[in-house]
Structure 1
Amino acid sequence: MIKQIIRKWWVKWPLLGLLIFFCWGLGFYASIYLGFWGKLPTKEELSALKQAEATQLLDDSGHLIGKYYIYDRQPITYNDLPQHLIDALIATEDVRFYEHDGVDNTSLLRVFFKTILLQDKSSGGGSTITLQLAKNLFGRKKYPILSTVINKLKESFVAERIEDIYSKKDILVLYLNTVPFSDNTYGIESAAQKFFNTSTSQLTLSEAATLIGTLKANHSYNPRLFPERSQLRRDVVLKQMAKYEYISDHKANQTMNQSIQLDYQYFNHDQGLAPYFREEVKKELNQILKKYSKPDGSPYDIYKDGLIIHTTLDHKMQSLAEEAMKEQMKALQKEYERSFGTNTPWKNNLELIDKAIKELDIYKKYISEGLTEDQIKDSLNKKKDTEVFGWNKNISKKMSSIDSLQHYLKFLNMGMIAIEPSSGAVKAYLGGIDYRYFKYDHVSQSTRQVGSTFKPFVYTTAIENGIKPCSYFSTKEITYTDLNNWTPKNSSKEEDPHLNYTLEKALSSSVNTIAVKVLNKVGIPKVVDQVKKLGITATLSEKPAMALGTDGIKIKELAGAYASYVNLGKSVAPYYISKIEDKKGNIIASFTPQISDQAAFSDYTRQVLLEMMKSTINTGTAARLRTTYKLTNDIAGKTGTTQDNKDGWFIGITPKLVTVTWVGNDNYNIGFKTTALGQGANTALPIFAKLYQKMNQDTTFDPITKSTFEKTPENVLADLNCKPEKRDGFLKRLFSKKKKKKRFGKNK
């Protein structure tokens, strides 16, 4: 009877079709298992899972200040996972996690048949935590047919192998260390640090539920971009936890009444704390790691090997320095633009603009492609949607390349470094006003004229070579006939030509004419030699104008040289990295301070110069630190302003910190309109002042802010105990009305 029924065509052919389909399905299944659609990882390979890990950058107290990564991943252990985080994950993503062997067969079959028979690409579902882990680890590929089915089956094979090798705890750790969260963040620790500025172990229930909620769609539920939507998703997670009795209904409702409070941290390359510092450390790190290799002989990769870089930076001081910089530079920029009125060089100086255009990379590219000037001008004038930097807020509008160039030409920039003078350890580092828009680092890359900050080196040489601190020099201008009738001038046009200043008064008042006369008396070669002893490697012009700081020196080198005045005469080399560890905490390399072997000058000279630079703060060009900013700290220092007000400088020396600050326009053809506005005391000094005001309010910095200079020796005080100035006698005034002329180097 059965045979007769089977022979009937309407039974025979469907059965044959079913058999063929079954055999095809079995063969298809086998083809995936055997690797026809791509090799499956073996158990041995799964046992040795390696994932790229972000390199962490820590400050001097172990605080995370940045990362280097391709995928922002920072692994943790099971003990770091709070129970409510695990419960939130299981309640939301896989309620039968502890019961299955990696695959929820019922859900998987549902997906399989819906996808094949109904072509329902949105059927979804069926995914366990282990299946998601398999997808996170190995990704998915596109195939000509049945991509979803092939990938799902491959993941099921991998998931079962993972379950055979790892415990459920290990799987949870692997999953949470690799799962992608919002903003290109991989792993729960990186997400906790980025969105809530905390570690995974310290996540609250609300924070944990928020992050787990983003796993369904990490862009759509990004709490930074879509806070309301993210909060609704968080509440779904909390309801799931209550449904499966991980928390009470009361606890769920209580937490749902709380709004999400982000403490977002930018760890990407352009934003966040100390971006210029992080970039400089990365450059140095790449050079250092060329000398070392991993145990297997392969080179270290800062983007994948999860290194731990211990730096010298103080994250709190850095944060305060950035605040101080923004406050000053925003206000100064406004004054700067107002001072030019309608006659702004970045709009009206066609020669300057044309020169700047020809320095653009895009202009050089067009030239190399053979475009004519008219074609280039036409291309550069095409407008497009552009976002540019602004102090109040960034500006988005249609702008041409030339519009953008003119916009950026107007901005003042800055650089600042603060170091520990006894070691050279860098505590704060600002390479510019905003790394996103101004990549050029003024601390490590820029070489600008240093102005009057060079004068202490001249006076140091003078004292070291026997010139007495109470020696008097005339403020009167002199024309040097052998230097094309060069006449150094003082910043004050009302300077009395019959006044004579001591070295202390001349330095604290930053008198140009006397600086040149002192250089003339002591000799250029001796000054050059003294500067080299201070660790400055810049090539000096070896001309009389160098007394006025016409040579360019890097901020880093100035800081290291000035440290000598509070470091027993020994200069230091600023350094950033104290130790490099691998991801297991094994030390790869450690670094010690680079301090000069010998003092660059006698302790007597050091104490004399320190007293002179204290006078600069107390009664000289930097007196506004006392009068305007009311700072009572022990401070010595020097202001500096270059010709045509192109550069403003301030160097602040305290017993435990040396700070160098520069302000100016990146385009050297644009200076300040007036000296009153452009002098270092008005441009660079306020950044230092505001930083110290903020540090004075934080007891954390008491060891720095309350430190005092050592007691000045009696013989030094005695040698400085003279009237700071005296006028020429009547006869000398009578016979010296005309401007004096002489040859440089002739002291008669």
Structure 2
Amino acid sequence: MAKKQVKKKQETPASFKTFIKWFWRVFVGGIASVILLFLLASWGALGKMPSFEFLENPQTNLASQVISADGKTLGKYYLKDNRTPVDYKDLPKDLVNALIATEDARFHDHSGIDVRGTVRAFAFLGSKGGASTISQQLARQLFVGEGSKNLPERLIQKIKEWVIATRLERQYTKEEIIAMYFNIYDFGNNADGIRSAARIYFGKEPQELQIEESAMLVGMFKNSSLFNPRRRPERVKTRRNVVLAQMYKYDYITKEVKDSLQKLPLTIDYNPESHNEGIGTYFREHLKGFLKKWTAENPKENGEKYDIYLDGLKIYTTIDSRMQEYAEEAMEEHMKKLQAEFYHQNTKKRNKNAPFAKDVEQSTIDFVMNKAIENSERWKIMKKEGKTEKEILASFDKKTPMTVFSWKGKNNRIDTIMTPRDSILYSKFFLRASFMSLEPQSGQVKAWVGGFNYRNFKYDMVKQGKRQIGSTFKPFVYATAIDQLHLSPCDSMPNGPFCIETGKYGLQEPWCPKNSDGKYEGMRTLKGALANSVNTVTARLMDKVGPANVRSLAQRLGVESEIEEVPSIALGTPDISLYEMLGAYGTFANKGVYVKPVIVTRIEDKNGTILYEFVPETKDVLSEEVAYTVVNLMEGVTQSGSGRRLRHKGANKWNKMYDEIITGYPYEFKNPIAGKTGTTQNNSDGWFIGMVPNLISGAWVGGEDRQIRFARTKYGQGASMALPIWALFMKKCYADKSLSVSDGRFEKPEEEMTINIDCSKTTSTTEENNGKDPDEDKLEGIDF
């Protein structure tokens, strides 16, 4: 009998059960591990994580801003990060749209991590795009840092990035995250953050950016080094067009707009922001000194000092950006012409001592050059390195590649090869200059130009540098005489030779000043004497009031430089800064009240809290009547004296050649102007200070050393060297009606004058100088 076949019951293979069991174990374990990993990361087990407080206030280095009186940013103070934060409301809509379309299309739909993008990135190993959200990228920029090449480390960094991104999403709104991302990114070329980038690459504020400009900057987020518009413009243009295509893809712009913008060339307006560039470079450097003192005297609540390079202060200054720009333009226009003529007159064929004057002895030249060598950076560095003096000196005679200043070079710089010794001599060929302008009623400084190129000539000749002041000191003598003796501008004095004898005022020998025109005859009114800079009349006034009283008045007018109590100060022998002189002259225009010059109105911290507000420092120095009388005297300088070329409509053919080369004639000012020129011995310094009722401006021009000068007074006098800068500046100011620079009369005192200033009935055969500038020795033809 056959065996009965029994059908076996089908059972699930043990291996499959095992698989299912392990699958769930791995799945659950994997999820648990990921959760644990995230928890460990959040607890700091995978490395330090930012605290809640730190997330609330991320510590980024913020540059301090120097802001002009008209609301423009003159420059910034920073060490590494040139960053100034911008609020979301100040970001243009197209800029935000470009970022979202390019970097994180689902930005408004996720909470820090784009799950769909992450899965896609894992599935295709990143070949179809990454998965980093804007929040993740911000977390990396703020807290995580650049990705490591080591795979385990990179994985840990990514986990920390995810954790921080979710925290940021809980802590901040989407708008705040967008703003933070724009503010933190380094766009290269010192453009840290969107505001610096907009200003540096386009010369604009962020809200002024066009769509194509916004697209270019957003394109740089991919890699600002790789997509640098200055080095790789074609690559940047291609990337910009990708961004525009993304904006079209996500319906932020139309196809027509995309097509038209993609055809545009890549155009940038590069405006580098560094301590050596931009407007107001000398002023910003001087301002550092003010801030250094202020930060030392005004610590934070916790006792720490404010750091102008890191704390994002806002320093509101008195400088008017328009006036500052006009002042710098005026100086450059004039100095180019003046320098060309100086070089022409001092070629080796004409002057073997060039750039030093012909009459300077070789021993003096050697002394000046050796002093310059010992003060050079090369000398100081090699000295620190332990080099011997012989080794150091030898290095100054070895030719080396270098970049030097040149009016004809690109950005005023040329590459050349010369010895360091020759480079020092070369730099001395360039005449130096300074200019300052202030409002006499408030003391607020409106323009400050310490030189014509801060990168190459860093010494500030507005306040740091002091030179003999020449005839611009004479108004102090006249003011003392009018104040103490109640003299009138119409009073006359002899124009004959005059000496102050030995023993008086402690003199060791007689002091007998000479008139520059060599004439000693007749009588001169005080107004005519000041207008024509008659030295003998000034000396007579000095003898009547005494050097001590003149010195005292100058000090009360704000002059802090040393002034000896000797009669010769009447002719301007003291070394005084342009800054001090303008503060003093401001007293005359401000009805006898001295107002200390001001450069900062207030300082705020990064949150807008006011830390400092200036309080004007004033004092009564002269009566209103005396001050007005001095102004009236100085008006004569521009009416019939050394400053009257301001009134000229033109000149004859011979003078026209000189005018075009040196001065920029004609100026044709018709409004009241009070002022004074100054020319020191041997034409070493040329000065001019001019005033209208609400603005005082002054200029100085001279060589780096007093031995560097024009041979002829025609070129070396203040009316030729300095006055043109003032005139060019004022013409620009008057052309800009938004500035409201006064062209009216100086205000007379309300009370009846007791000093006679109407000299129309005064007669003198020697009041006029027949068209000759009084500071000139003689007029000579131009030596071409």
TM-score (norm. length: structure 2):
0.83
Asked if 1:676 is matched to 2:742, the reply is no
Report how far residue 591 of structure 1 moved: 1.0
Query: Displacement of 1:199 after TM fit?
Result: 3.0
Provide, for residues 405-448 of structure 1, a one-character-per-residue CA deviation record: whole Å limited to 9, x for no partner: 12211111111111100111011111111111122111121111
Q: Could you tell me which residue of structure 2 aligns to residue 252 of structure 1?
A: 258
Paired residue for 1:102, among 93, 105, 112? Answer: 112
Aligned CA distance change for structure 1 residues 464 and 719 (closer, same or farther; 3 Å): farther
Q: Please name the residue that 2:407 is paired with.
A: 391
| SS state at 2:523 partner | strand
Q: Which of 199, 202, 206 is 2:208 aligned to?
A: 202
Larger mean CA deviation between 467-476 and 574-583 belongs to 467-476
| Aligned position for 1:704 | 741
Distance 1:361 1:679 in 2: 33
1:476 aligns with 2:497: yes
User: Could you tell me which residue of structure 2 aligns to residue 91 of structure 1?
Assistant: 101
- Contact 2:734 2:741 survives alignment (8 Å): no
Letter in 1 for 2:375: E
State the alpha-carbon separation in 1 of the partners of residues 635 and 398 from structure 2. Answer: 55
User: Shift of the alpha carbon at 1:673?
Assistant: 2.3
Q: Tell me the SS of whatever aligns to 2:227.
A: coil
Q: Could you list the per-position Cα deviations for residues 75-125 of structure 1 after superposition, in whole angstroms to 9, with x for gaps in the alignment?
A: 23332233221210011112232334433457657878999xxxx9x9994
> Equivalent residues in 2 for 1:719-734 (5 A)?
720-721=759-760, 723=762, 725-726=764-765
Q: 1:449 aligns with which of 428, 452, 468?
A: 468
Q: 1:441–1:195: structure 2 CA closer, same or farther, 3 Å change rule?
A: same
**2:530/2:637 contact within 8 Å kept:** yes
Give 2:5's aligned residue.
none
Identify the residue that residue 440 of structure 2 maps to in structure 1.
421
Paired residue for 1:327? Answer: 333
Tell me which of 265, 278, 283 is aligned to 2:284: 278
User: How far apart are the structure 2 equivalents of 1:49 and 1:368?
Assistant: 41
Counterpart of 1:545 (choices 554, 568, 571) is 568
Contact 1:352 1:669 in 2 (8 A): no
Measured after TM superposition, the shift of residue 358 of structure 1 is 2.7
Contact 1:276 1:431 in 2 (8 A): yes
Change (3 A) 1:383 1:155: farther
Structure 1 distance, partners of 2:766, 2:721, is 33
Task: Indicate yes or no: 2:404 matched with 1:404.
Answer: no
Residues 499-543 of structure 1, C-alpha deviation per residue, up to 9 Å, x if partnerless? 432221111111223322321232112211221221212221212
Is the contact between residue 443 and residue 556 of structure 1 (CA under 8 Å) also seen in structure 2?
A: yes
What is the match of residue 655 of structure 2? Answer: none
2:294 aligned residue (284, 288, 307): 288
The one-letter code matched in structure 1 to 2:741 is I
> Is the 1:650–1:680 contact (alpha carbons within 8 Å) kept by the matching residues of 2?
yes
CA deviation digits over 1:156-215, x for unaligned, max 9? 232232233333333212212212223222222332233333333332212211211222
Deviates more, 1:364-373 or 1:351-360: 364-373
In structure 2, do the counterparts of structure 1 residues 225 and 643 end up closer, same or farther at CA, with 3 Å as the change threshold? farther
- The DSSP-based 3-state class of the residue aligned with 2:311 is coil
Aligned residues of 1:565 and 1:610 also touching (Cα < 8 A) = yes
Shift of 1:73: 1.9
The equivalences for 1:178-327 within 5 A come to 178-295=184-301, 298-327=304-333
Secondary structure of 2:107's aligned partner? coil
Candidates 23, 38, 55, aligned match of 1:46: 55
Q: Measure the CA separation in 1 of the matches of 2:724 and 2:305.
A: 45
Correspondence for 1:733 = none
SS in structure 2 of the partner of residue 126 of structure 1: coil
- Residue identity opposite 2:568 in structure 1: A
Query: 2:622: which partner in 1?
Result: 601
**CA deviation after TM superposition for structure 1 residue 315, in Å:** 0.8
Provide the rounded CA distance (Å) in 2 between the counterparts of 1:410 and 1:139.
54
Letter in 1 for 2:228: N
Secondary structure (helix, strand or coil) at the match of 1:592 reads coil
Q: Where does residue 571 of structure 1 map in the other structure?
A: 594
Q: Quick one: distance in 2 between partners of 1:42 and 1:105?
A: 25
How far apart are residue 683 of structure 1 and its match?
Answer: 0.8
Counterpart of 1:574 in structure 2: which amino acid? Answer: P
The CA distance in 1 between the partners of 2:384 and 2:261, in whole Å, is: 62
Superposition deviation, residue 485 in structure 1: 5.5
After superposition, the Cα gap between the structure-2 partners of 1:35 and 1:385, relative to the gap in structure 1 and judged at 3 Å, is farther
Distance across 1 between alignment mates of 2:98 and 2:380: 56
Q: Distance in 2 between matches of 1:607 and 1:45?
A: 61
Question: How do 1:708-719 and structure 2 match up within 5 A?
Answer: 708-711=745-748, 716-717=755-756
> Which SS does the other structure have where 1:232 is aligned?
helix
**In the alignment, which residue of structure 2 is the partner of 1:63?**
72
Matched-pair contact (CA < 8 Å) for 2:687–2:701: yes
SS for the counterpart of 1:185 is coil
Matched letter for residue 611 of structure 1? N
Q: 1:293 touches 1:299 (CA, 8 Å); kept in 2? A: yes
CA contact (8 A) 1:695 1:705 kept: no
Residue correspondences, number: 709
Instruction: Quote the Cα distance in structure 1 between the aligned partners of 2:55 and 2:401.
Output: 48
What is the identity, as a one-letter code, of the residue corresponding to 2:759? Answer: L
Cα RMSD after superposing both structures: 3.4
Cα deviation, residue 62, structure 1: 1.9
Cα gap change, 1:410 to 1:136, in 2 (>3 Å): same
Matched, 1:437 2:456: yes
C-alpha spacing 1:440/1:2, structure 2 compared with 1 (3 Å): farther
Give the alignment partner of residue 127 of structure 1, picking from 132, 143, 149: 132
The answer to whether residue 516 in structure 2 is matched with residue 491 in structure 1 is yes
Pair 1:162–1:468, CA change in 2 (3 A): closer
Separation of aligned partners in 2, 1:87 and 1:401: 54
Report if the CA contact (8 A) 1:270-1:436 is conserved: yes
Task: Pick closer, same or farther for the CA change 1:33–1:579 going to 2, 3 Å.
Answer: closer
Cα shift readout 1:619-661 (whole Å, capped 9, x = no counterpart): 1011111113111222100000111211111000110001121
Q: Which residue number corresponds to residue 688 of structure 1? A: 726
SS in 2 for 1:604: helix
What are the Cα deviations for residues 52-76 of structure 1, in whole angstroms up to 9, with x where unaligned? 3222222112222222234222223
Measure how far apart 1:236 and its partner are: 1.7
The equivalent of 1:138 in structure 2 is 143
In the alignment, structure 1 residue 80 sits paired with structure 2 residue 105: no
CA distance in 2, matches of 1:551, 1:25: 80
Counterpart residue type for residue 463 of structure 1: I
* Counterparts of 1:4 and 1:585, CA distance in 2: 71
CA distance in 2, matches of 1:373, 1:68: 37
Q: Hey, what's the Cα distance between the residues in 1 that align with 2:53 and 2:735?
A: 58
Post-superposition offset of 1:371? 4.0
| Greater mean deviation of Cα atoms: 78-87 or 538-547 | 78-87
Report if the CA contact (8 A) 1:266-1:273 is conserved: no
Asked whether the equivalents of residues 396 and 421 of structure 2 are also in contact (C-alpha less than 8 Å), the reply is yes
User: 2:715·2:721 contact (CA, 8 Å) conserved in 1?
Assistant: yes
Percent pairwise identity: 38
Pair 386,331 (structure 1): closer, same or farther in 2 beyond 3 Å: same
Structure 1: segments with no counterpart, 5+ residues: 8-19, 729-748
- The residue that corresponds to 2:3 in the other structure is none
Q: Which runs of 5+ in 2 are unaligned?
A: 1-11, 19-28, 357-361, 649-665, 768-784
Matches of 1:44 and 1:699, distance apart in 2: 51
- Assess if the C-alpha contact under 8 Å between 1:314 and 1:427 holds in 2: yes
Q: Residues 229-260 of structure 1: CA distance to partner in whole angstroms, max 9, x if unpaired? A: 43332222111111222211111112223345
Classify 1:502/1:699 alpha carbon distance in 2 versus 1 (closer, same or farther; 3 Å): same
Distance 1:54 1:31 in 2: 36
Counterpart for residue 632 of structure 1: 670
Cα distance, 1:329 vs structure 2: 0.9
Local SS of the residue matching 1:52: coil
TM-score by length of 1: 0.87
Secondary structure of the structure 1 residue equivalent to 2:242: helix
